[in-house]
Chains A and B, each alone.
Chain A
C-alpha cells in the first residue's frame, strides 16, 4: 500500500487521528516538555474522548497526537492483543487514521499499553505509550496536590520510603506488586502504574521512548530513551521481581510474566504467558508443549 491509499482508508468524517490539529499541537508541546524533564508530570488539556475516563483516554490522546501515516500501531491490554479494550482501541485508530495495525511487537512503531511492557526487547525506533490511571506516586500517602507538587519540587521523598518500610514491617517484604515507584534519572519519583514490578527492570536504559498519559488526571510524563530508572528499595531489602515455580503451560517460557488461568469448573488452573504475542511466536518457533 502507498501512503496516499493508507490515508484514504480513514473515516472522512473525522480529522486524521480523531483530535483536531490544535489539540494535537497542545499534546505534543506537553510531551516535549515531559521528555525534557524525565519523570516530571506535565499538566495538559485532556479532552473528552469517545470512551470513558479511566479506560485509557490519556494513552489514546498521546497516540493520536503522535501517529502518522507510516506508523504501525499495536495495543496491549493485560498483555494481550485480543481483549475487548485492546481490540476497540486498535479498531478506533484504524478507523480514524486508516493506518496499519499489528499484533506483532517487532512490527509496531507505536505500542499503546495497559498493564504490561512486551517481553520482546523494544528498539530505538519504537515508542511505548502507557495508559495511566494514577500518575501521582505520592497520592496514597499525601492527599494534597499542592503538597505533592512541593515534595517533587524539593525532592522530599522520605515519605515514599515510609510506604516501603510499612510493607516490610507488615509483611516481611515489599508487598507492592504493581505501580512500584521508580526514581527516574536520579531526580523525580514516578509511578510506572499500572505495570507489575516484574516489568520495572525493563524500563531502565530502554532504547525506546516511554510516554505516560493520564486522561482523567490530565497529566503526561516521559522517560526518554536510555534513561536510568531505579526501583526504590532498602540496602538490606533489595528490589526483587515476581517469580514462578513452573514455566508457561503453552510455550514453556521461564522468563516471562505468567497469568493464572482457571480452565474448568473444578478449579483446575494453569499458568500461561500474559504477553500473547510473545507466547504465540514461541509456539510457532516450535518451543513448548
Chain B
C-alpha cells in the first residue's frame, strides 16, 4: 500500500460518516444498524450473498433512497452535511459534482442514444463548460484513459461491447473528478479476462485521483483486488468488518468463514 496515501488518510477527517443507519420495507429489513466511516482515498467493499442488503445500503448512501433511521453525513468544506435531509436542489448538485454512481448495467448509467463523447461531456456541460473544442479534448483524453480508441468518440454506446460500455460509464462518472464514487457490481456480467482488465483500470484510476469509493460486490476476488476495507453483510446486518486481507485471511464470523472457504481467493 502507498504509505503517503495512508498517512494522508490518517491525517484527515472522514469523508463519510454513517451511524446506526437502518432501512425497513414495512415489516421486512433492508439493512439494520449499519455504522462506518469512510476516509478520503479509501475503498470500502461491501460483500454478502444475494438479498443481504448490500444494494439497499448503497442506494441509501447515494441518496437514491431514504434511510428509515440513523444518520448519513458527508464532509463538505469543513462542515457536515446531513445527506438524507438535504433539500433536493442541493442533493442533485452534489450528485453531479461531488459523487458519482457506476451502475451494474451500463445501460442504466449511459445515454444510449448519445455518442461516447457526448456521454463523457455531459457532466462537463452540466458544470457550465461551453467550449466545444475543450469538451472534445477532455473526452478524447478520458477515452484513452479507459482504454477505448479515441477515434470512436462519435460512436454510439450501443455499438460498443459490454466491457467497453462499462469502461465508458466509468469515464462518464470520473470525468467530473468526484470525491466519492459508488459502484454496484461494476464487473457483473463481464467475462473473466475483461473483468481483470477493468479491475486493473479501476484500481489505477481510483489510486491516481485519490477518490474514495464504496463498492458493492458478491465477488470476493474483486473485493480482494480493489478494496482496503471490507464489510460483510448477512440478512441486512453487518456481521464483520475490518481490513480486507484480515477479513479474508482470518475470518472470525462463521458466515464469513463459510463465504471465504466457498471460493478460492
Contacts and interface: CB of A to CB of B under 8 A. Distances in A.
Interface of A: 150, 153-154, 156, 158-159, 161-162, 165-166, 168-170, 233-237
Summarize A's interface: helix, strand, loop or mixed: helix
B126 A165 contact: no
B157 interface: no
Contacts of B96: 156
Summarize B's interface: helix, strand, loop or mixed: helix
B132 interface: yes
Contact of A165 (B92, B117, B127): B117
Contacts of B135: 165
A159 B125 CA distance: 8
7 contacts: A156-B92, A159-B122, A162-B114, A162-B121, A169-B153, A169-B154, A170-B115
Contacts of A233: 130
Give the size category of B's interface with A.
20 to 34
B118 A169 contact: yes
A166 B114 CA distance: 7
Nearest to B131: A235
Contacts of A166: 114-115, 118
A168 B126 contact: no
B78 interface: no
Nearest to A160: B125
Given A235-B131, A236-B132, A158 B154 contact: no
Contacts of B132: 165, 168, 234-237
Contact of A162 (B92, B122, B133): B122
B123 interface: yes
B118 A156 contact: no
Nearest to A237: B132
B88 interface: yes
B89 interface: yes
B130 A161 contact: yes
B126 A169 contact: no
Contacts of B121: 162, 165
A150 B111 CA distance: 19
A170 B154 CA distance: 7
A6 B115 CA distance: 59
Contact of A236 (B111, B122, B131): B131
A161 B125 contact: yes
A158 B126 contact: yes
A236 B137 CA distance: 13
Contacts of A158: 122-127
Interface string B23-48: 00000000000000000000000000
A159 B92 CA distance: 14
B125 A162 contact: yes
Interface string B117-149: 110011111110011110110000000000000
Nearest to A232: B130
A12 B153 CA distance: 65
Contacts of B125: 158-159, 161-162, 165
Contacts of B118: 162, 165-166, 169
A236 B132 CA distance: 6
A153 B93 CA distance: 12
A146 to B, nearest CB: 12
A236 B123 CA distance: 19
Contacts of B133: 236
B8 to A, nearest CB: 32
